[in-house]
Chains A and B, each alone.
Chain A
Amino acid sequence: MSSNYVKRFGGRWVSLVSHRPFSTSSSIQKDPSHQSFKSLNLFSAINQALHIALESDPRAYVFGEDVSFGGVFRCTTGLADRFGKSRVFNTPLCEQGIIGFGIGLAAMGNRAIAEIQFADYIYPAFDQIVNEAAKFRYRSGNQFNCGGLTIRAPYGAVGHGGHYHSQSPEAFFCHVPGIKVVIPRSPRQAKGLLLSCIRDPNPIVFFEPKWLYRLAVEEVPHDEYMLPLSEAEVIRQGSDITLVGWGAQLSIMEQACLDAEKEGISCELIDLKTLIPWDKETVEASVKKTGRLLISHEAPVTGGFGAEISASIVERCFSRLEAPVARVCGLDTPFPLVFEPFYMPNKNKILNAIKSTVDY
């Protein structure tokens, strides 16, 4: 087996710890309007992005628990057959090992695409992410970096996931300078953002909304494209209140916006996409226009990233605010199985908050 590696890769000789000029995703955005589209669900869009990543870079690797046969959510289907078991492989069941391995691989100039099977299981790797990946460039004075590392993890509610298949741990990672946290809302976003993350020269945690893996279907450009990081997107224009969210929560928020519209309230909806470093300017501009802000996420409200957005916007827009910032989030309990419908920041909770903020 090992001699095969030598044969296959023996011809290449690049510097041992290479500093490859990774593309900076924010500067590249292909216009997807002239491409052919195909109807895809979210896991297939992720799968396409991984195919492209492996195809376009012989130094890209995909690994994690059960990824070889296609992964428990099918995101890695067909990759091992196509690119071989030395580039797409199972790892032992050990999250700190997966991320530590990924850091070493990335530090040698590779694109290491690591999968953590559920975001709920990312905590054993917390030290490797927080103390190692995030500080790798800084602590070495840019002698070394692990910018080629992308950590994919399915996150969020799924209707029946209970404590350990439902969590949204993004806020933990938003407290860590040196990594980026990115969450897509739809198949098209997932493909473009994931490719940007993989090619971005910084370590990134990419949370995938698992509820949408099969549920969300969208026309997705067939060819490769990248979507910019740290750029929020106004996905619905409005004038009375700004709603900010990310990932699967946006579709719930959109329904609340539609209902509010029926009652004559015009809502602006923003997808933050990148949580750190986040696009304050877009949110600020919107709140200056509407004078009101509502943030919604599935994670518990206390210490959630909504608190950070709220504080920042109050700092910047205090005199323009016509009502307190509203947060409609998960409750401060562990994620509860049979009580999930009570726990969740659902449409009507959001709608009520919209109305009381507008009527303040």
Chain B
Amino acid sequence: MATQIFRRSRTLIQKNLPLLLGSAFNKSTFFTSTFQYSGVPFVNPATFFCFSRFESTKAEARLNIQNYVSEDENNNQGIDFPGGKVAFTSEMRFISDSDHKRVPCYRVLDDNGEITKFSNYVQVNKEMAVKMYSNMVTLQTMDIIFYEVQRQGRISFYVTSAGEEAVNIASAAALAFDDIILPQYREPGVLLWRGFTLQQFADQCFGNTSDFGKGRQMPIHYGSNEHNYFTVSSPIATQLPQAVGAAYSLKMDGKSACAVTYCGDGSTSEGDFHAALNFAAVMDAPVIFICRNNGWAISTPVEEQFRSDGVVVKGQAYGIKSIRVDGNDALAVYSAVHTAREMAIREKKPVLIEALTYRVGHHSTSDDSTKYRPNDEIEYWKMARNPVNKFKRWVERNGWWSDKDEMEIRSSVRKQLLEAIKLAEKEQKPPLEDMFKDVYDQLPSNLKEQERQLRETIKKHPIDYPSDVPL
């Protein structure tokens, strides 16, 4: 039976060879795999995850064979539909609204920070591990101090990354510097990893003359061309279709790099999320979508956000490989992103990563999350599932980190940051002319006129305007 199936399938594959080689490959996979009812679990990490240059193409071909072969006697018949052949079945079967089992979550470290048995992962050496841990601690310290500075009224706003340090730092560590980042707003760790200095973070938050954004945006809207990190904008999910365009450019330029874009669980309800996934698949764009499913979109829990099994299952409908990963396990995030990057660049295809994590802090400094979620839930994620502590246990177990190191880094980062904040606060605000620049490449006549009029008004009523903006 098996050989017979294979033979028949091979004919089908040969018949469809032009399709398989072309961009329609995605479509044919899509059509045939939805045809299966309960089928194989969405992704089997064990087979999917293979370090000797994955055999994913082979694996897909095998998947195709299975799909074309139906136990139904009608299996030789089908529609030659544009986009690929679809087999007929005499059975009226609706595809289920969900799989019986939720897609499992890939992890490497258990809750004690020990590597789980049989786990496949990309090795992280001492130097990398220590750098990752140090960056996680730095991010934590930034959160604590900037949050306080906001509470003191010295900056207008802040957003913490608490609970999501592993997604931030481990994903950044797994990428190359040439990869283009299109962030949402809760990924400052990626920029930190790329060398954005504490002073630069502080300058942005204070909107002073050294802020790359010239004081025009709220705190935490970082961006740096030199770090290949696109400037944050507040609307969610808008960066996702843009990342596809950036990825397409990288592909057309023959670069060995990909675009990487981040979003949260709330973003997946936006039209831009669906536009981006569909475009990425159709355009064969080397882009990695990293969704930080942190359970809450401000006060909206995931149960009120979608009915699907989270985010990971949305990939397949668009023809995109996807994986669900423990976002609080730095080694799992590192391995998944590292592997996704290789796949994206080699295969010129998008990858979707759903990182299960938790927003331990409030949405922002303008939010009080105890109004809508239980304290013990926050405490559980803050303590028992803390991604920084978990990674620390692993690093310590390897003998790469001591209490002395811990004390040293925490006090050193704290000192540097307080110094940076002091300087940033003292530094001048950007000059008034920066208000009119960069709307266009050159100042148009209406803005010249408005600037002239404004300056006349300021002369008459200087008291109406902030004195710290140089005129």
Contact = CB atoms under 8 A, between A and B. Distances in A.
Contacts of A17: 180, 225, 228
Given A5-B348, A17-B225, A137-B438, A101 B180 contact: no
B10 interface: no
Interface in B206-235: 211-214, 216-217, 221, 223-225, 228, 230-231, 233, 235
Select the residue from B178, B251, B252 with max chain A CB neighbours within 10 A: B252
A76 interface: no
Given A139-B213, A143-B224, A100 B276 contact: yes
A5 B254 contact: yes
Interface string B442-456: 101111000000000
Contacts of A106: 245
B465 interface: no
A324 B86 CA distance: 68
A199 B248 CA distance: 20
A107 to B, nearest CB: 6
Q: What range describes how many residues of A lie at the interface?
A: 35 or more
Select the residue from A97, A108, A277 with max chain B CB neighbours within 10 A: A97
B413 interface: no
Interface stretch (A32-40, A125-133, A183-191, A337-345): A125-133
Contact of A16 (B212, B257, B284): B257
A81 B246 CA distance: 24
B32 to A, nearest CB: 20
A86 B252 CA distance: 8
Given A92-B282, A142-B437, A105 B249 contact: yes
A230 B444 contact: yes
Interface in B233-286: 233, 235, 238, 240-255, 257, 259, 271-272, 274-276, 278-279, 282-284
A293 B66 CA distance: 74
B238 A132 contact: yes
A147 B441 contact: yes
B241 A96 contact: yes
A340 B251 CA distance: 47
Nearest to B204: A141
Given A131-B238, A178-B439, A140 B180 contact: no
Nearest to B217: A139
Given A94-B275, A141-B438, A14 B238 contact: no
Select the residue from A1, A100, A109 with max chain B CB neighbours within 10 A: A100
A112 interface: yes
B251 A5 contact: yes
14 contacts: A1-B22, A2-B347, A13-B253, A16-B178, A92-B282, A96-B271, A109-B249, A110-B249, A139-B216, A139-B231, A140-B213, A140-B230, A144-B231, A202-B441
| 10 closest A-B pairs by CB | A104-B245, A100-B241, A97-B275, A277-B444, A104-B242, A2-B348, A140-B231, A108-B249, A105-B245, A104-B246
Interface of A: 1-2, 5-6, 8-14, 16-17, 19, 22, 24, 86-87, 89, 91-92, 94, 96-97, 99-110, 112, 124, 127-128, 131-132, 135-145, 147, 177-178, 180, 201-202, 230, 277-278, 280-281
Given A104-B259, A277-B445, 18 more contacts: A1-B21, A9-B254, A12-B254, A17-B180, A100-B238, A101-B241, A103-B245, A104-B242, A104-B243, A107-B242, A112-B245, A139-B217, A139-B221, A142-B438, A143-B223, A143-B231, A144-B223, A278-B446
